[in-house]
Amino acid sequence: MKYFSTRGGSEELSFEDTVLTGLAPNGGLYIPTSIPKLPGNWKNDWKEYSFIDLSVTVLSLFISRDEISESELRNLVVKSYANFRHPEVTPLKRLGDKKYVLELWHGPTWAFKDVALQLLGNLFEFFLQRRNERNVTVKEKLTVVGATSGDTGSAAIYGLRNKANISIFILHPKGRVSPIQEAQMTTVTDSNVHNLAVKGTFDDCQDIVKALFADTQFNAKHRLGAVNSINWARILAQTVYYFLAYFSLRRATGGDADVQFVVPTGNFGDILAGYYAKKMGLPMAGKLGVATNANDILARFWKTGRYEKADSSPIDVAPSMEPAAGSSDGKQGTQDSSGVKETLSPAMDILVSSNFERLLWYLAFENVPQTEVDPRGKAGETVAGWMSKMKSDGRVEVPTSVLESARRDFCAERVSDEQTLETIKAHFLGTPSYVVDPHTAVGLSAAARMAQHNPLSYNQIILSTAHPAKFSEAVSTALEDSPQFNFESQIMPEEFKGLLQKERRVVDVESADIELVKRVIEDRV
C-alpha cells in the first residue's frame, strides 16, 4: 500500500514515510492509493476478536508486511493499549432503546485521541529506532509539532514523553482550553516535552503548524513530524473502534442491526475514520452524523455546499441553523475577531476542519469526468484549487454534484450551548443516569434530532469523546440545580485530584507569529 497527496503530484510514499512526513510538501494530506475491501468471511472470522486483534487485522490491510511484520505490529498494538483502563479499550454502553455510546476515553489522558496517539508515538519510536540501527553513523531524530484545541496536546504528549530521539512541541491557544486539559499538558515535565501557549485561536496555532511544515528549509533542518489528525496513522487507528462497536452491537442485539454513527467533531478526523470503515465494507444503514457546536462550518457545508469560515447565508433563509425548541445560543454569541465562537465544547471551537480535505478529494474524484485520462491527478488539481480559494477568500462553493455525493454518506446538525447543557442534565436525570462531557452532549443532542428522520429499525451509536471531569465547568453548570449531584465524589477521577496545583512548564508566545514559534523550537532542540 502506498500513499499520495490530496493536492496532486506523482509522488507515492510508503506507510513509514507517510507517518514520519505527516503533511505533504505541497500542503496536501496523505491518503491511500486505494481503500482495501474486507475479506469475504470477515463477519464470522472477526466476531470474537478483541480490540487488539481487530487493530492488528484492520491495520494490516493498509500496512505492507514488508514494512511491519505481523508480530512487530502486534507488539506495537499491545504496547499502545496496555495502559487503557477498560479491557475492551473502547466499550459500548447502552443508554436506551436503540441508543448507545461508544466510550473512547479510557486511555491515559481520558480522551478519545489516546486511541490514535498512543499508537502513533510507538510507530514514531519504532521507525526511528529501526533507521538508526541500519545507519549508525548519522542518528535520525524527529521534532514533532502539533496544535491542540484541548485533547490532542495531552494525548500526544503522553504518547511521546520520554521517547528516544523525539522532541515534541505542542501549541495551544492561551486561555482557550479547559483547566484540566491545560494542566494535563503543562504538568508533564519530561525534557523532550515543550508546551507553547499562543495568544490567539486554535486555528492560528494550526496555521502556524502547517506553515512550519511548508517551510522546506526549517522542516529539513529539524525533521518535523505531525501528531495532528493530518497524520494518516491517526485516522487509520481510529477506524478500528467502528468495527469493535459494530460487533459489540451485534452481540447486544443478537444479530445484524441497522446502525447510524453520530460523531461530535471539529477537525473531522474522528468521523472521517468512520467514512473509511464504511468504504471498506462495514455496514452502516444510516448516514454518518456530523455533530457540531456553534462553530458550524461543517453543518453549513452540508446545508449549502459552501465551505466557508463565515456564514454568508441571510439568517432568514437558514432555518436549519436556528436553535431548536426556542432555545438560544447562550454564550455562543461570544466570538473574537477571527470569528471563532467560544462554546462549552472548546475542543470543537474550530473555524476550518483540516481533515475535511481528505473527504473533498474523494468527492472530487467521484465527480471527475469519465473521459479524463488521469482522474486521480485531476481530483488533486481540483482540491488544490479549492484549498487555494479557501485560503485567499475564506470560502469555496462546490458543484451541486459534489454536494449530492457528500449528502449520500453524511448528514449534519448544529447544537447550541443551551442544548448542550439541557442534554447533560437530561441524561444525568435519565434511566440509566449517565454523566457526559459537553462534546458527547453535542453528539447526543444532534443524534436525537437525526433520529426523528430515521427508520424505526435504526440503532444509534454516539461516539463519546472525553471523560466529563475534563470539562467540569460545563458539567457543573448543567447539574448545579440537581441536589443528588456531587462532582468531586461522582465524577472526579483520583488522577485529576491535585493536578491543578502541580508544577507547570510552559512557554508563553505573545502573538500568533511563526517566527516566534521557530525561535522557541530552535532554542530547545
Show which residues are catalytic. Answer: 113
C-alpha cell at 43: 463477519
What is the torsional sign of CA 77, 78, 84, 89? Answer: positive
Q: What is the dihedral of CA 110, 261, 414, 419, to 10 degrees?
A: -60
Helix (H, G, I), strand (E, B) or coil at 273: helix
Nearest-10 crossing angle of helices 232-253, 51-60: 130
- For residue 264, what is its C-alpha cell? 461530535
Sheet bearing 259-264, strands edge to edge: 92-96, 99-103, 459-464, 259-264, 288-292, 410-414
User: Under a CB-based contact definition with an 8 Å cutoff, are residues 450 and 460 in contact?
Assistant: yes
Residue 285 CA to residue 391 CA, distance in Å, equals 36
Long-range contacts of 280-283 (CB under 8 A, 24+ apart): 280/35, 280/36, 280/37, 280/38, 280/61, 280/239, 281/37, 281/38, 281/42, 282/38, 282/242, 282/243, 282/246, 283/246, 283/256, 283/259
